[in-house]
Each structure stands twice: as C-alpha cells, then as structure tokens.
C-alpha cells in the first residue's frame, strides 16, 4: 500500500513556511541536504515537481500547492490524534503576547491548529510592539513572542529573520522615499532608517500606525514602503530586491525572533511554547 511519510510532509511544510531549506532543517533538527533529499523523494514518489526556485527562496508549483493543503490537514490530524491519547489532557488559560505581524501570520494557521489539538486550552492573545512586550507590559503574559536585536539569557532564540523592503516598486524612483512605519521604538523602523542613512538615501515619513493591518493597507494604497521580516510579508505586497537598474537596495540586515516563557508556567503554556517553537 502506498503511503506518504509524515516526517517528509512536515519538512515540506517547513520549507514552504520558512522559504528556506536551511531554516527548515534547523526547525526539524536535520541538515539542509537531508531536507532536500526528503523533498526529492516526495517528488519521485508522486511523480510531480513540488517547488521551483524564486529569487532567494522557493515557490509552490500547482501540484505543490495541492500537496501543501493535504500536508497541513494530515499533520493537524496527526497532532490531534496524539493529543487525544495523552495521559492527561492539557487545559487552562494561556496569555500570549505577540507582535502584530506575527499574530497576522500565526493566528489563522499555527494558533488555529493548536486550538484544534488542545480544545481545553483558552488562548488570550494580545498584540503590541516588541519593545512594549519586553518591558513591564511583558509581566502580564505567560508567553511572549517578539523581535530583538540582541538576545539575553531569558530569551529562547527561535530563528533569525531576514529583513526586506516591501511596497510598490515605483516608489523607489522618488528622490525621497516615502516611508510607512510604526512609532519610534519599532525595530523595523530603526533598521530602515539606519540603512537609509548609511546609504545616504533621502526619505520622509508619510504614514505612522502601530497596527499591522493599518500598515499593510497603507502599503497597498501606495502611501510608502517599509521594512518587514520576510516571513511575515503578506502575499499581496511585493518584496523589493533592487532598483530598476539592478542596483541593490540598502540592506536592513536581520533580527532575532525570541520567545520568553514566564517562570512557573502552566502545562498549557509550556505545551503552547513547544508547539510554537516546532512550527515557527
């Protein structure tokens, strides 16, 4: 009887979600060549091409898109089955503090899956800027998922995130770039301004908003460009890689995605922390 490896499907899903075989390998605890081999075996088994190269990342083929949908459902069912037969069902309330851009990408996917696997756990999610989550406000949460430029001993490093420029390409031709940003203290804003200043590129702030949906609406409306973590860029917003003459844009670098788990955290909070670490 033919069957698909759940481990291979999880690796395949990780590559799509992270856009990188190297990062997928780090999540899965495997080498990049091992991840590549798993994907090649999946393609050979199914007789189709699943991925194509797109810039520095990957894009799904039509067949890959179909398999990705099946993989998400199969993995969710697997996790639900394991949870069903755990000796003691996890329950309780978990207070999660998360940056709004990660909330936008995680809530409909990872947190939705967690809620299905652990229906007895109540999630209380609050979105805020990283600087606020990591200050006194952070004491209100069981788990914090935020961005930091430097980690400390209380941080669990989840991954390094490449920062990219996003927005409508035509705006790069303006002598002073219009910028859509969060308020002062935002890492994205600081990195954007620092990289522009190093490159002696003039810019002006045209729109400020703390809410990620407000920023994405401004980007779609052509009010300006900004810097975001690559994995959080909405599908309908272009990633800007170079000027029209192929000259590279100022490099905003990368940041750390970190997690903090409160001392004396409940089993429900610990379970969510493990779930997030395995899927981000």
Q: Is the dihedral of CA 154, 270, 5, 280 positive or negative?
A: negative
For 25, phi and psi rounded to 5 degrees? -65, -40
Examine the domain organization and report whether 244 and 187 are in the same domain. Answer: yes
Residue 269 has pLDDT above 80, yes or no: yes
- Say if CB 202 and CB 271 are below 8 A apart: no
* pLDDT tens digits, one per residue of 197-240: 999 999 999 999 988 889 999 999 999 999 999 888 988 899 99
Q: Are residues 72 and 100 in the same domain?
A: no
- The domain boundary, picked from 32, 62, 82, lies at 82
pLDDT tens string 74-98:
887 887 777 667 655 778 899 999 9
In terms of domains, do 146 and 70 share one?
no
Answer left, alpha or beta for residue 200, where phi above 0 means left and psi between -120 and 50 means alpha. left
Give the pLDDT confidence score for residue 220 in this predicted structure.
93
Number of domains in the chain: 2
User: What is the pLDDT confidence band of residue 15, given thresholds at 50, 70 and 90?
Assistant: confident
Whose tokens are 């995605």? That residue is 257
Indicate if 137 and 78 belong to the same structural domain. Answer: no
141 shares a domain with 116: yes
The verdict on 143 and 275 lying in the same domain is yes
Q: Which are the contacts of 49, defined by CB distance < 8 A and separation ≥ 6?
A: 43, 61, 63, 64
State whether 114 and 36 are in the same domain: no
Are 167 and 212 contained in the same domain?
yes
Residues 32 and 132 in one domain: no
Print the domain residue range for 62. Answer: 4-82
Q: What is the CATH number of the domain that holds 106?
A: 3.40.190.290
Residues 28 and 163 in one domain: no
Reported as a pLDDT band with limits 50, 70 and 90, residue 65 is: confident
Q: What integer pLDDT is reported at residue 137 of this predicted model?
A: 60
Mark whether 160 and 272 lie in a shared domain.
yes
Residues 6 or more apart whose Cβ sits within 8 Å of residue 60: 16, 50, 51, 68
Residue 67 belongs to domain with CATH number: 1.10.10.10
Let me know whether 112 and 207 are in one domain: yes
Last residue of a domain, one of 82, 99, 120: 82
The percentage of residues in the chain with a pLDDT greater than 90, rounded to a whole number, is 30
Residue 89 near residue 120 (C-beta atoms within 8 A)? yes
pLDDT of residue 133: 87
Handedness of CA 91, 97, 98, 100 (dihedral sign): positive
């Amino acid at each position: 009887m033919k069957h698909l490896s759940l481990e291979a499907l999880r690796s395949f899903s990780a590559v799509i979600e992270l856009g990188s075989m190297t990062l997928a390998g780090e999540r899965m605890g495997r080498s990049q060549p091992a991840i590549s081999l798993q994907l090649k075996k999946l393609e050979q088994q199914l007789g189709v091409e699943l991925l194509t190269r797109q810039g520095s990342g990957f894009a799904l083929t039509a067949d890959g898109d179909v398999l990705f949908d099946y993989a998400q459902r199969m993995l969710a069912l697997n996790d639900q089955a394991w949870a069903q037969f755990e000796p003691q069902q996890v329950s309780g309330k978990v207070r999660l503090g998360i940056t709004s851009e990660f909330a936008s990408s995680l809530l409909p996917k990872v947190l939705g899956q967690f809620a299905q696997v652990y229906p007895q756990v109540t999630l209380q999610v609050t979105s805020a800027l990283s600087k606020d989550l990591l200050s006194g406000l952070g004491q209100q949460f069981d788990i914090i998922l935020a961005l930091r430029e430097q980690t400390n001993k209380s941080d669990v490093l989840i991954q390094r995130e490449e920062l990219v420029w996003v927005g409508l390409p035509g705006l790069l031709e303006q002598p002073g770039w219009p910028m859509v940003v969060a308020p002062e203290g935002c890492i994205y804003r600081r990195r954007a301004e620092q990289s522009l200043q190093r490159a002696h590129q003039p810019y002006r702030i045209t729109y400020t908003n703390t809410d990620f949906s407000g920023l994405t609406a401004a980007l779609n409306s052509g009010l300006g460009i900004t810097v975001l973590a690559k994995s959080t860029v909405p599908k309908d917003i272009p990633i800007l890689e170079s000027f029209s003459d192929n000259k590279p844009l100022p490099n905003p670098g990368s940041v750390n995605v970190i997690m903090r788990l409160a001392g004396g955290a409940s089993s429900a909070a610990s379970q969510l922390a493990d779930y997030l670490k395995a899927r981000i």
